[in-house]
Structure 1
Amino acid sequence: MSSSDEDEMPLARRPRKSGGRVVLPDKIDPAVDRQMEEESMEIDAAHAPGIAIDPAKASKVINGTSGKRKAAMKPTVKDESDSDNEPLSKRRRTVNGISRHQLSDESDDSDAIPLKSSRAKKPAKPKEQSESDFEADDSDIPLQKLSKEKKEIEKAASKQAKKEKATPKTKVTPKAKAANKRKPKDESPSDASDSDVPIAKQRKTASAKKGKAVKKEEDEEPTPVKGKKAKVKVEEAAPKKTAKGKGKAKDEEAPSPEGEDEDAEGYKWWLAEQGDGKQKWETLQHSGVMFPPPYEVLPTNIKMKYNGVPIVLSPEAEEVAGFMAALLEADQAKDQKFIENFFADWKEVLKKFGGAKDQNGKTIKIESYDKCDFRPMFEYFTAQKEAKKAMSNVEKKALKAEKEKVEEPYQYCQWNGRKEKVGNFRVEPPGLFRGRGEHPKRGMLKLRVQPEQITLNIGKEATVPPPPKGHKWGNIVHNQTASWLAMWTENINNNVKYVMLAVTSSLKGQSDFKKYEKARELKKHIDKIRRDYTRDLSDKQTMIRQRATAIYLIDKFALRAGNEKGDDEADTVGCCSLRYEHITLEEPNLVHFKFLGKDSIQFDQLYTVDKQVFKNLRIFKKAPKAPGDDLFDRIQTKHINEWFKDYMEGLSAKVFRTYNASWTMQKELAEMKNVGTVAQKYAAYNEANKKVAILCNHQRTKSKMHDTQMEKKMYEIKALMYQKWRLKKMILDLEPKLKKKKPEYFRPDAEIDNDEWIREHQEWLVEEEKKKIEKKFAKENEKLLENGEKEMKATELKTRLGVLNDMKKEFTKENSSGKVAAVGKSPSVEKFEEQIAKIEEKVQTRISMMKDKENTSEVSLGTSKINYIDPRLSVVFCKRFGVPLEKIFAKALRDKFKWAIESVDENWEF
């Protein structure tokens, strides 16, 4: 758009600028709308079936991209604008190593580093593969297939929602009905969004306010919850039985009255009446917080050097120098920003506490980080770690017992007369701030927190725990609406830190329960939400159209909502905070997203979008907008969440992610077959979880140790094959004629049919046996010392190691003769065959586990399993398919999800 064209445009339609950023006018210019529509029709004609696609047209990139795409990369895109009920539009993505034309409609919407694509170039193999495939296989489900599967999932969700609407509902009071009634749509934008103050300026103002630390009132909840909290009724706590008999919950006895003196382990809160969330407790007693130990100065012979000269530091400065010394061989020691921030803060500490001096007391001015030598301190810390590792089991147990004794008073509190576990009762120790990703404050000094900075929340009648000697608490409050036990403000980002109950507590469990019930409730409203935002995609008001487009992206591609970040925070973005440079538009309707998502993980995906959405994004990027300008300059996350609340109380963008994740897992469970071993069933569960993780953007970079771990697992499998081969040789020692009858049976597996590998493995077996003997000898000696007895002499160990010579001779004889003598008590063919069968089962289990690990190496399964998939679905899986719950949830998670474990049976549905 030229400057002359802009001058002739009506004032209300001109793009506005604020703080150097371009802001769209209040209303979409009809002429621009028509122009985009006409161009869209031309593109459709060029891509009509049977008509050759114009390479120039197909490779055209809109609004700011470098270079044109090759004609070979042009995709054929199917219009999906009429699919109101589909949760994910067909999508495309770009990952390293895969050309664009290979990436047809996929659903991999990751906010982490994309999956490696070397396998994606090969044709996808069937899901059921031969267990003899030992190499990293290509059994990843094609991502375009996941997109189709999720559409089926959402259709099923829509049908289920209609069924639930048809079931009799509980009586709603007039007051509740009025509260839940959807507000009429306002034809004009709200004051906040249609104001002459652009969103960019609003965000800066909010960010500036946020940066100032304001002291809160004693009786005020530091983190107030916006909006009303819905009451969760008794019938919601125990899932209802549907018309088909699904969703049946276990019958439990009524819980004990609130406040009765009982431990959290016996308190089944999920069967009790849930409160409205206002008052959290009646009585509260705890022991405060546990402070880190004071700093211990280094031995006098351990000094860091400056310009080659050992220097003497005050304890305060030495402690900070030690923080950097401990990271000397870590990645932070190569990070210039980290070093810069550390050095600036350290110099302030030096200035405050007397600076640095040489051995003669002469002052040395520290001016250059490059002249600092922390190596002596690093070597001392390393030696301390090694010494701790080398401690005997007796010493380690004594140290652990002492530590537990000190921590014991802080681990539990009395909450309404019940013993509840406390979570993070330790005050964070001082250190260097690391942050996540490219955080601008990484390397800055986290100061030691003093008791005077801490506010305790405790019952009025409770005994206030004494502060450390010579100190006093910052404040004591009795806030019964707050769930925190203690709080303080850290110095890096001025964030408030809280001591809360543990994740296994009833309070945390109730929070999880309400979250998943909220996602279940979304089923009843999802169709109307999608119809309405689809209608708003063509609204004349800029704010409304931007809001609808953002909601489309959140729903279809599981983008996080995103909030504006301050200049002193990492530049991570979500949907609402996307900028001009974060998306590239490619005809006919492809959108390439590239930005830093949560935890500063690169999000680099190419998606197919609805034509109207594509047109809107073109308008939002239209000149004079340029890099640095907000894509959605009229909305913030709050505008989206306010719109959601008109449909369902408590609905936010995050609920969509929980809903989609749980429905995907529900669908996968319905299609699973109860066949195979436990390991194979567990692999099937992980495969389903993997689909959820991909659809919810939960990916990760492959571990640096992954290849090493896979090699180790492969070696373990080959070791089992070697055992099996030796047993078969022993069978032939008893019955030589069997070799002619079953020649294939007595051949070694291809993986170990190598004389050189066999000899190397035999050497490894001898070495492993040596380690076992030495370890057992040391353990027996420790036990003797514990009992006050005299330990065994070294000659005893030498005698025991004599068996190694026998092993070597036996292997040498076997290799030369090709025969293995049958050993054991009363050896027989039947006994050896039984052993072979057991080993074969172990081999198949290891293969299954290895494939499972390979297939999930670049997907974060933990995030989706713990935070997005309703844990009751995992419990249903275990109960339905006979898989031990320990395979899915570790001890801590079993405690955390005790409410889910005890509240459903194998027929429950999300």
Structure 2
Amino acid sequence: MSSSEDDKPLLKASNGVKSKDHISKEVDVALDKESPSGQRTHPGVSIRFGPMEPMDVDETQTNGNVNGKRKSRGSLTNGKSYKEASSSEEDEKPLSKRRRTSQKAKQTKEESESESSDVPLKARKPPRISPEQIGELSDDDVPLTKKLVKEKIAIEKAAEKEAQHLRKEKAAAARKRKPKAESESEDEKPLAKKKQPAKKKGANGVKKNESESDEPIKVKATAKKTTKTKAQPSTPATKGKSKAKQEQTEEDREAEEEEEQYRWWEAPTQHDGTKKWTTLEHNGVVFPPEYEPLPKDVKLIYDGVPVTLHKDAEEVATFYGSMLNSTVNVENPTFNKNFFEDFTAILDKTGHGKDANGNTVKIKSFEKCDFTKIFEYYQAEREKKRALPQAEKKALKAAKEAAEAPYMYCIWDGRKQKVGNFRVEPPGLFRGRGEHPKTGRVKKRVMPEQITINIGKEAKVPEPPAGHRWKEVKHDQEGTWLAMWQENINGAYKYVMLAANSDIKGQSDYKKFEKARELKQHIDRIRKDYMREMKSEKMAERQRATAIYLIDRLALRAGNEKGEDEADTVGCCSLKYQHVTLKPPNTVVFDFLGKDSIRYYDEVEVDPQVFKNLKIFKKHPKTIDDDIFDRLTTSALNKHLSSYMPGLTAKVFRTYNASWTMARLLKEMKPTGTIAEKVKEYNDANREVAILCNHKRTVTASHTMSIEKMQEKMNGLRYQVWRHKMMMIDVDPKIKKKKGAEFFERPEDLDDEWVQKHQESLVEEQRQKITKKFEKDNEKLKADGEKEMPEKELKDRLKAADELAAKFKKENKTGKVEAEGKSPSIEKLEAAIDKLNQRIETMRIQMEDKEGNKEVALGTSKINYIDPRLTVVFSKKFNVPIERFFSKTLREKFDWAIKSVDENWEF
């Protein structure tokens, strides 16, 4: 079997069967006869949210069950600007966990509970999703899939018109600068074949912005800032700014003052060259503390015998012993096997263990090792830290911050910039995600001799720890890293970089979204080209076109080839036979481990030609472990895409599709009402983007428990509503006849047994609050050098809880509830009931939202793929505080977006 010259570079190295280099007309015609003609083209919207029928075509096989879970990735503040606002507990939660959304999520609760049980993931059926979970009305008769297909087709048509419009504008501008005949002939060329126009470059290779003069950027930015700030009125978000600044460190103030003078996004082309900095100063990295040996009475038990280990071996034993509560790891056979292999290797070097008599104890069996004593010791230490007085905790925190302060900032081209991860990762056990083959391996302590420092030539090189030296000192002006080292697990390089809110990081995000905006001009021709090439006789072209379709329409990642010792994660180009199941007439089921070893499962209706091509790519004699796209690599795919647009790669499609979809949805929105209602409308659009762009996540193990807790809180509020109604009868007995007996009935599900338990929990909650308040008051007295309150004071305070218990007991016995508060009246009680009902409604929406979004990764869309400037536009256009969309951390990360656009900006 020979390949053409064009195909050779695309041919993958594999042990499996290869596709033929050309596709015969006979094969095409034969497959066309098998599929119904005239089928409508589907733009690739998931239909997985529904019943899964048995498939009789291919048997779906995944490449491993997934245990790993993604960590969660977020408040309106009083009198503070977005950047000064401190994050609260709610602030740190993803928006997906606290947004308002739909009405029917309760109906799917029983299904979700069964689906998140202990059934193996491979055999588990994906849950259903209701139309309300993307903001649709419950009485809408249009099926979800058809509605989404129709909407996605409309969005893609709008993209085609936009691309044509942008190119016409560009061509018109070009005709003014060159002869008409030349411009017309250039426009007729296919986009991928056009020559890129020569770019005007400055001395350092950076494209010259014609609107920019030679005036120094810092001076220009300052002038622009001055004119802008004079015209800007004060907003609620900026009140109290001076108070917040008093609490900032001197470094924060200095950095913020410089930031007000320097707005890099107003001239981003100044930073597109390879030279990233001229001068760079920093203080290196912070190393983790040295290992402190266990107390003499805390030992590893081997075969019932306490053994003394060498310090190095004991440290590794503590890695495992301290995490016995992490069942997802210690119950994983691969984790245990890898740990014990590394542990015994260190034991062999250090002489294994010694018993009480000094005799050598060979540790050869993992099953005979008992780490319980070690776990109990570390658990007790954790409890001690939690029990420390608040003043002591603050003192420890302040001491730590003071020790790390010199490492938190660097001087980059004369400007103070915050450093992100300046701490060297401590030694421990590698956990990985999903079924990583190296989970449980020992992460060795990183020594200074492994670390390379990157710093300016004229700057003082930071001193390594006493008795050590750096591996190397570099002056790499093309690198944005400050230090690097190679970790021992995967041989990957770890870098110390600037913080997310630094200029360099901001520019990286800015360029990513600008690249996606540039794709607007070319998307229609790219789509036409790959739809045409999907019928090409050349196998390489047909595979490439099909892959681009899957990447564009289904938001699949391109994927890279993995080594044998890496996690078996898959992307589009690395899909294998068993990852794709074909279900006639045109449904494709994908089942594989995606990024971070998260299981990707989707059932999608595709264009008939795509279905037909996948059938060809899976044609016999291909079988399990054979590549589907065996004549395509990620690098070849990206090289082809770059012919349309400089810098275009497969991952740009995800950013473009999410941002373009959100932009179209936001254009059609005209939210009114309260801030909460406006936020809900934005969140509904965000949810639709997540579904249309196939952003999914695994259901967390704690999801059901979390829903139950929210339901219990809501029931507590409902109980308070009932008590207030009963208080109305106590104030005016005639009210019962006026409003009717039904108004005062207790909800049926809040039966006597539930009421008893709830009352007990309320009494216990009050006891805990009183006790904590007493301890906090005593801590303050102690810190001020005053005498602490005696235990008698606590007993006196706890009488309030006893009185509450007695009140509940009386209510249960008499069936009456005495009115509470000063001068209770019907009006006051009705107002209190209204407030409680508002809280219930808010909590109900949050609970339904949480249930509806358990598999939709809204945070992924909003943070990584939707241009943050779109969120800022919505915030400014409809007067919704940006704190409602971005947590403090995200506000710092997207500072450039918040400051760089107004309400009229368009993606």
Q: When the two structures are superposed, what TM-score results if normalisation uses the length of structure 1?
A: 0.80
Q: Which runs of 5+ in 2 are unaligned?
A: 56-65, 70-110, 116-124, 194-203, 213-222, 230-253
Tell me which amino acid in the other structure corresponds to 1:26: D
Return 746-755 or 327-336, whichever deviates more. 746-755
How many Å separate the matches in 1 of 2:547 and 2:454? 40
Cross-structure match for 2:155: 153
Q: What amino acid does structure 1 have at the position aligned with 2:311?
A: P
Structure 2 counterpart of 1:473: 470
Please name the residue that 2:277 is paired with: 281
Cα distance, 1:416 vs structure 2? 1.2
Greater RCO (CA < 8 Å, at least 6 residues apart):
2
In structure 2, the residue matched to 1:773 is: 770
Q: Distance in 2 between matches of 1:838 and 1:232?
A: 59
Q: CA deviation at 1:128?
A: 6.9
Contact preservation (8 Å) 2:433, 2:598: no
- Corresponding residue of 2:44: 89
Determine the structure 2 residue equivalent to 1:491.
488
How many residues end up aligned between the 2 structures? 791
The 3-state SS of whatever aligns with 2:485 is strand
Deviation per residue, 1:30-55 (Å, 9 max, x gap): 33333333434xx44xxxxxxxxxxx
Match of residue 272 from structure 1:
267
Give me the whole-angstrom Cα distance separating, in 1, the residues matched to 2:552 and 2:793.
70
Q: Is the CA contact 2:559–2:574 (under 8 Å) kept in the aligned structure 1?
A: yes
Partner Cα distance (1:745, 1:500) in 2: 65
Call closer, same or farther: CA 1:127–1:438 in 2, change over 3 Å.
closer
How far the C-alpha of 1:765 sits from its partner, in A, is 2.1
Q: Distance in 2 between matches of 1:141 and 1:405?
A: 60
Change (3 A) 1:382 1:233: farther
Corresponding residue of 2:287: 291
Q: Out of 82, 99, 102, which is 2:53 matched to?
A: 99
* Aligned residues of 1:91 and 1:147 also touching (Cα < 8 A): no
Partner in structure 1 of residue 23 of structure 2:
28
Letter of the 1:299 counterpart: P
Render the CA deviation track for 1:327-367: whole Å, top value 9, x for unaligned: 32322222222222222212221222233222222222222
Q: Shift of residue 622 of structure 1? A: 1.9
2 CA distance for matches of 1:19 and 1:738?
82
* Matched residue SS, 2:453: strand
Q: Mark the CA change 1:822 to 1:594 in structure 2 (over 3 Å): closer, same or farther.
A: closer
Please report how far the alpha carbon of residue 744 of structure 1 lies from its aligned counterpart in structure 2 after TM superposition: 6.6
The alpha carbon displacement at 1:598 in A equals 1.4
Instruction: Pick one of 595, 617, 620 that aligns with 2:617.
Output: 620
SS at match of 1:594: strand
**8 Å Cα contact 1:254-1:272 kept in structure 2:** no
Are residue 697 (structure 1) and residue 694 (structure 2) matched? Answer: yes
1:76-133 CA distance string (max 9 Å, x none): xx7234xxxx8x23554387x53379xxxxxxxxx99999678738887995779xxx
Residue 530 of structure 1 is matched in structure 2 by 527
The answer as to whether partners of 2:4 and 2:21 remain within 8 angstroms in 1 is no
Kindly tell me: are residues 170 and 345 of structure 1, through their superposed partners in 2, closer, same or farther at Cα, counting changes over 3 Å?
farther
**8 A contact 1:752–1:758 mirrored in 2:** no
Structure 2 distance, partners of 1:260, 1:234, is 30
Structure 1 counterpart SS, 2:411: strand
Q: Distance in 2 between matches of 1:449 and 1:271?
A: 41
Conservation of the 8 A alpha-carbon contact between 1:724 and 1:836: yes
Q: Relative to structure 2, which stretch is displaced further, 721-730 or 508-517? A: 721-730
Checking the alignment, whether the CA contact within 8 Å between 1:21 and 1:630 is kept in structure 2 is: yes
Q: Corresponding residue for 2:377?
A: 380
Distance 2:189 2:275 in 1: 28
Give the match's secondary structure for 1:519. Answer: helix
* Cα separation, 2, equivalents of 1:668 and 1:538: 33
Find the partner of 1:728 among 721, 725, 728: 725
CA distance in 2, matches of 1:885, 1:643: 40
CA shift in 2, pair 1:277/1:13, >3 Å: closer
Maintained 8 Å contact 2:49/2:126: no
- Percent identity over the alignment? 52
Q: Is contact 1:662–1:869 with CA below 8 Å preserved after alignment?
A: yes
CA, structure 1 residues 853+39, in 2 after alignment: closer, same or farther (shift >3 Å)?
closer
In structure 1, runs of 5+ residues without a counterpart are 1-5, 45-77, 102-110, 131-136, 187-227, 237-249
In the other structure, the counterpart of 1:245 is none
SS in 2 for 1:595: strand
CA distance in 2, matches of 1:736, 1:819: 11
Code of the residue aligned with 1:805 in structure 2: it is D
> Which residue of 235, 258, 267 corresponds with 1:263?
258
- How far did residue 314 of structure 1 move? 1.0
Distance change (3 Å), C-alpha of 1:121 and 1:10: closer
Task: Please state whether the residue corresponding to 2:574 is helix, strand or coil.
Answer: coil
Return the offset for 1:632: 1.0
Partner AA of 1:704 in structure 2: A
Tell me if the contact between 1:254 and 1:271 (Cα under 8 Å) persists in the aligned partners: no
> What is the aligned partner in structure 2 of residue 55 from structure 1?
none
Match for residue 40 of structure 2? 80
Query: Could you say which residue in structure 1 is the equivalent of 2:601?
Result: 604
Whole-angstrom CA distance in 2 between matches of 1:461 and 1:255: 37
SS at match of 2:572: coil
Residue of structure 2 in register with 1:686 after alignment: 683
Tell me the distance in 2 between the aligned counterparts of 1:514 and 1:94: 35
1:120 alignment counterpart: 128
How far does residue 289 in structure 1 lie from its aligned partner after superposition?
A: 0.7
CA offset digits 1:388-414 (Å, max 9, x no partner):
111111121111111111111111111
Pairwise mapping of residues 792-807 of structure 1 onto structure 2 (< 5 A)? Answer: 792-807=789-804
- 1:214 corresponds to which residue? none
Corresponding residue for residue 166 of structure 2: 164
Q: Alignment partner for residue 543 of structure 1, among 528, 540, 562?
A: 540
Taking a change above 3 Å as real, the CA distance of residues 251 and 740 of structure 1, as seen in their structure-2 partners, is: farther
Q: Aligned pair 1:883/2:880, yes or no? A: yes
TM superposition shift of 1:762: 2.5
Between the aligned partners of 1:479 and 1:553, the Cα distance in structure 2 is 39
Aligned-partner SS, 2:438: coil
Structure-2 separation of matches of 1:706 and 1:552: 34
After the TM superposition, which residues 432-447 of structure 1 pair with which residues of structure 2 at under 5 Å, given as runs? 432-447=429-444
CA distance in 2 between partners of 1:266 and 1:340 (Å): 56
C-alpha displacement at 1:513, in angstroms?
A: 0.9
| Match in the other structure for 2:238 | none
Task: Indicate the residue corresponding to 1:365 in structure 2.
Answer: 362
- The answer to whether the Cα contact below 8 Å between 2:46 and 2:602 also exists between their aligned partners in 1 is no
The answer for the alignment partner of 1:346 in structure 2 is 343
Quick check: 1:729–1:819 contact (8 Å CA) kept in 2? yes
Counterparts of 1:352-431 in structure 2, within 5 Å, are: 352-431=349-428
- Structure 1 residues 126 and 551, CA gap change in structure 2 (3 angstroms): closer
Q: Does 1:588 align with 2:585?
A: yes
Cα RMSD after superposing both structures? 3.7
Give me the whole-angstrom Cα distance separating, in 2, the residues matched to 1:328 and 1:651.
47
For 1:448 and 1:139, the matched residues in 2 are separated by 61
Quick one: distance in 2 between partners of 1:862 and 1:141? 26
2:144 alignment partner in structure 1: 142
The aligned amino acid for 2:128 is A
Q: Normalized per residue, which structure has more helix?
A: 2
Question: Matched residue of 1:476: which SS?
Answer: strand
Asked if 2 retains the 8 angstrom alpha-carbon contact of 1:304 and 1:373, the reply is yes
Q: TM-score, normalised by structure 2?
A: 0.80
Counterpart amino acid of residue 23 in structure 1: K
Q: Residues 129, 679 of structure 1: CA spacing in aligned structure 2 closer, same or farther, 3 A cutoff? A: farther
Whole-angstrom CA distance in 1 between matches of 2:463 and 2:22: 62
Alignment partner of 1:613: what SS? helix
Higher alpha-carbon deviation: 315-324 or 578-587: 578-587
Letter matched to residue 20 of structure 1:
N
| Letter of the 1:495 counterpart | A
Paired with 1:436 and 1:642, the residues of 2 have a C-alpha distance of: 31
Distance in 2 separating the partners of 1:121 and 1:897: 32
CA distance in 2, matches of 1:324, 1:599: 23
Change (3 A) 1:181 1:566: farther
The separation in 1 between residues aligned to 2:406 and 2:141, in whole angstroms, is: 51
